[in-house]
Amino acid sequence: MTFRIDRRGLAAALAAACVALAAPAALAQAPADKVVRLLVAGPPGGSLDVVSRLLAEGLQKELNQTVVVESRPGAGGAVAVNDLLQAPHDGNTLVVALDALVSEIPHIVKLRIDMAKEVRPLVELARGGIVLVGNPSVPAKTLAELVAYVKASPGKVSYASYSAGTISHVMGLQLNKAAGIDMAHVGYKGTPPALVDLMGGHVPLMFAGIPNAVPLIKTGKIVPYAVSLPQRSPNLPNVPTFAELGYPQLEALVWIGLFTTPDVPAAAQTRMRDATLKVMAQPATRERLREFGLDAGQPRTADELTKSLRADHERVGAVLKSIDFKPE
């Protein structure tokens, strides 16, 4: 999974019982001649693309409709959202994007639209987290040792993020404040170049997406210190959470969502949400997500997801404001 934003390029239950009983009838009346379009706010081959194709495969069977996946990378998701807004608002065109679409992008890039008002999250498809990793040459094997090492060299130890203004940047700022240390930030244009420099020793630390880091951790090319998830990652069971180590403020989820527009008819939103939840709950789908380093999303309601995005947007904004960060 690549939690990547190109700054220059500028991105509860499954259903109540009564809804569940009504779903088969709704699906049976699906307009088979209508094509469902999943607009992916990321490049082909990335995590958003992989999750979208898993979803498309299942939706095609559930909805009895043709489902196509269309890559729409650029502008941190704004390109995909622009296409969504121009399409008929009938529920058959949706965007697959990171939660950063609403929580981070508005702080990073000057947009002509208000993401929080233009899009509505329907379903949390998959979730992951961030892991603090280091080059093996760093003389610290635990987070406590790392904090002591950084304190001994204030301003001389740097950390990489996959893009300035993103959660991988913000988490470093939060650790600085919580631990009383002074790591310098080095922003990159995506995860791959940052990991290359990390392995090469050009930057000693990085806050990286767990799926990207797991293969390198398992081969010993980088060393993990802590993960941002509420519980330990099944992919890194021996790596503690930040909360376990005394830094609960560094708990953070990164999730992939299915987004629509708020004005899509409620019945169409319910139909798509119910079908999507059914697909994502299938054991085979969950296993394929796990193989890719992701956990299945939780069946949070659209209102719960909206509330979460609003809270994350405010939290990220407050941290960035503290360093006088300005959007491009």
Q: For residue 154, what pLDDT is reported? A: 86
Q: For residue 328, what pLDDT is reported? A: 65
Mind listing the pLDDT tens digit of every residue in the chain (328 residues)?
Answer: 444 434 434 333 323 333 333 333 344 344 567 899 999 998 888 889 999 999 999 999 999 999 999 999 888 888 999 999 999 999 999 999 999 999 999 998 888 889 999 999 999 999 999 999 999 999 999 999 999 999 999 889 999 998 888 999 999 999 999 999 999 999 998 888 999 999 999 999 999 999 889 999 999 999 999 999 999 998 899 999 999 999 999 999 899 999 999 999 999 999 999 999 999 999 999 999 988 888 899 999 999 999 999 999 999 999 999 888 877 6
Q: For residue 31, what pLDDT is reported? A: 59
Question: Average pLDDT, whole number, for the chain?
Answer: 88
Q: For residue 74, what pLDDT is reported? A: 85
Q: For residue 26, what pLDDT is reported? A: 40
pLDDT single digits (tens) 27-49: 434 456 789 999 999 888 888 99
Please give the Cα distance from 50 to 53 (Å, whole number). 5
pLDDT single digits (tens) 273-327: 999 999 999 999 999 998 888 889 999 999 999 999 999 999 999 999 988 887 7
Domains of the chain: 17-128+254-322 (3.40.190.150), 130-250 (3.40.190.10)
What percent of the chain clears pLDDT 90, i.e. is strictly above it?
A: 73
Question: For the chain, what is the HEC assignment?
Answer: CCCCCCCCCCCCCCCCHHHHHHHHHHHHCCCCCCCEEEEECCCCCCHHHHHHHHHHHHHHHHHCCCEEEEECCCHHHHHHHHHHHHCCCCCCEEEEEECHHHHCHHHHCCCCCCHHHHCEEEEEEEEECEEEEECCCCCCCCHHHHHHHHHHCCCCCEEEECCCCCHHHHHHHHHHHHHCCCCEEEECCCHHHHHHHHHHCCCCEEEEEHHHHHHHHHCCCCEEEEECCCCCCCCCCCCCECCCCCCHHHCCCEEEEEEECCCCCHHHHHHHHHHHHHHHCCHHHHHHHHHCCCEECCCCCHHHHHHHHHHHHHHHHHHHHHCCCCCC
Phi-psi region of 295 (alpha: psi -120 to 50; beta: other; left: phi over 0): beta
Name the one residue in this structure whose structure tokens are 């939706």: 59
Asked whether 4 and 35 are in contact (CB, 8 A), the reply is no
Q: For residue 99, what pLDDT is reported? A: 94
Q: For residue 38, what pLDDT is reported? A: 98
